[in-house]
């Protein structure tokens, strides 16, 4: 069975990072980087509802959420697929296909410029293969926790991945 690209994603050939091959990375080609200067680029955690039931349980500190990290006008997220290649992909901010956008949380700023952020994400994507995705121990929220902490020094809010922690 051949899998085609998901609606809203563009898959590109493996990228090169300092002469070594990086894993597959999905992206939109446009980069909006002229708006921010070095050292003050905001990093946002974009939170999506996976189920309409979140509207009822969110206020109790529960819910099932998908997240992505937005920096320089690009949102990076992690998803599952059946291949031993990166599950990290890029989408237009707050537009992740298949999910309902809930809110954007300012996590802080990064001192990296757009090119350094891109190189950083290429390196990090090698640690997040689509076939290693697991709802409890390695999901999109774990990816965002790792990326946000490395870019800003701040963890994501605990409520975002609470159900995975309870399940573990």
The answer to whether residues 72 and 109 touch, using CB atoms and an 8 Å cutoff, is no
140 is catalytic: yes
Token reading at 107: 């996590």
**Between 140-152 and 114-125, two packed helices, what is the crossing angle to 10 degrees?**
140
Q: Is the dihedral of CA 43, 103, 100, 154 positive or negative?
A: positive
Which residue among 66, 96, 144, 148 is the active-site one? 66
Residue 147 three-state SS? helix
Token reading at 59: 């206020």
142 is catalytic: no
Strand 41-49 relative to strand 100-110, pairing? antiparallel
26 φ, ψ (degrees, to nearest 5): -105, 140
Which residue among 140, 142, 144, 148 is the active-site one? 140
Alpha-helical segments (H) within the chain: 54-57, 114-125, 140-152, 162-167
CA-closest candidate to residue 156, choices 164, 147, 165: 147
Residues marked as catalytic: 66, 140
């Amino acid at each position: 069975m051949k899998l085609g690209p998901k609606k809203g994603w563009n898959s590109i050939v493996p990228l090169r990072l300092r002469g070594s091959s990086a894993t597959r990375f999905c992206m939109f080609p446009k980069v909006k980087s002229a708006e921010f200067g070095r050292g003050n680029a905001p990093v946002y955690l974009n939170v999506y509802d996976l189920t309409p039931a979140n509207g009822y349980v969110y206020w109790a500190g529960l819910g099932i959420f998908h997240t992505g990290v937005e920096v320089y006008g690009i949102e990076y997220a992690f998803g599952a697929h059946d291949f031993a290649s990166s599950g990290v992909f890029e989408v237009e901010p707050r537009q992740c296909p298949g999910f309902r956008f809930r809110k954007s949380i300012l996590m802080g700023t990064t001192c990296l410029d757009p090119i350094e952020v891109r190189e950083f994400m290429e390196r990090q994507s090698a640690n997040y293969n689509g076939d290693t995705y697991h709802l409890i121990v390695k999901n999109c929220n774990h990816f965002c926790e790792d990326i946000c902490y490395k870019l800003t020094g701040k963890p994501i809010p605990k409520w975002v991945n609470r159900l995975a922690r309870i399940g573990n």
